[in-house]
């Protein structure tokens, strides 16, 4: 199981510990990709140049004054990566 992102601070998960051991399962948590920034930036830039990473479809800039719209986009999933400028 891989936990991705940051859950609410009061979130809980229940699991049977014996299943983890007996079935050789693993639990991993990733926040912000756990990536080395330099390596990730070079890789993503390469993907963008090759047309494999459509940054313009993923990143959506918003003026800081539109913070309410940014919050709505986060809630309704209308944008993947919201950036205040």
Question: Which residue ranges make up each domain of the chain?
Answer: 2-84
Tell which residue, 36, 62, 58, has the closest CA to residue 47.
58
Q: Within 13 Å, how many C-alpha atoms sit on residue 29's CB side?
A: 5
Whether residue 3 has pLDDT greater than 80: no
pLDDT tens digits, one per residue of 18-59: 887 888 888 777 766 566 777 778 888 898 999 988 888 778
Whether residue 16 has pLDDT greater than 90: no
| Exposure string over 16-46, b if 16+ CB within 10 A, otherwise e | eeeeeeeeeeeeeeeeeeeeeeeeeeeeeee
- pTM for this entry: 0.40
């Amino acid at each position: 199981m891989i936990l991705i992102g940051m859950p609410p601070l009061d979130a809980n998960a229940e699991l049977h510990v014996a299943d983890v051991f007996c079935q050789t399962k693993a639990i991993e948590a990733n926040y912000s990709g756990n990536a080395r920034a330099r390596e990730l930036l070079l890789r993503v830039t390469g993907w963008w140049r090759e047309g494999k990473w459509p940054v313009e479809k993923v990143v959506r800039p918003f003026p800081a004054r539109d913070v309410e719209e940014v919050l709505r986009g986060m809630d309704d999933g209308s944008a993947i990566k919201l950036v205040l400028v």
